[in-house]
Amino acid sequence: MNLPNKLTLLRIVLVPVCMALMLTGHFYIALGVFIVASITDFLDGYIARKNNLVTSFGKIMDPLADKILVFGALLCFLQLGFINSWCVAIILAREFFVTGMRVVAVDKGKVIAASWWGKVKTNVQMFAVMFGFLAFSQDSAALILAGQIAIYIATAFTAASWVAYIFENIEVFKD
């Protein structure tokens, strides 16, 4: 297994650690773990492309690891009453829908690569989650509101990327 794939697996392993820290009130440490996990997202892709180490495993597991990381944090925020369930529902529905589109596309011999919208969506989600960690740990009404707004912005970007994927890949729905 190459280094980029090991970094992807590390990101997945860090998810339950981050969640446990969040749910036990260790927000700063959880934030540190989340940041390290987020950095592995950049590093694995960079190293894979630079050194021609792109693998089928990485193509599938890298975006899945991103989703697991973000969902883990969002589920904790939901459990802690920091965000609304509709945000999580929109983000989750988009991910299942786009993944379903990709499966149908593969069945038709087409690959749906990550788009600009998808990459922006992932980055906005990760930054919103990081801001949420900081806001929640401060117990400040203003920061909590700002953190919640960041999650709403991430939800809006998620919805926009969902629409973009549909329009950019509409032929997947045609028989």
Phi and psi for 59 in degrees, rounded to 5?
A: -60, -35
User: What pLDDT, on the 0 to 100 scale, is given for residue 172?
Assistant: 86
pLDDT in tens, the chain (175 residues): 999 999 999 999 999 999 999 999 999 999 999 999 999 988 998 999 999 999 888 888 888 898 999 999 999 999 998 899 999 999 999 999 998 898 888 888 887 877 888 888 888 998 999 888 888 777 788 888 888 899 999 999 999 999 999 999 888 888 7
Cβ neighbours around 124 below 10 Å, total:
20
Kindly state the helix (H) or strand (E) to which residue 125 belongs, with its residue range: helix 116-138
User: What pLDDT, on the 0 to 100 scale, is given for residue 119?
Assistant: 84
Contact 76, 88 (CB under 8 A): no
Quote the pTM value. Answer: 0.87
Instruction: Give the position of tokens 């959880």.
Output: 30
What residue ranges define each of the domains in the chain, with the CATH number in brackets?
3-173 (1.20.120.1760)
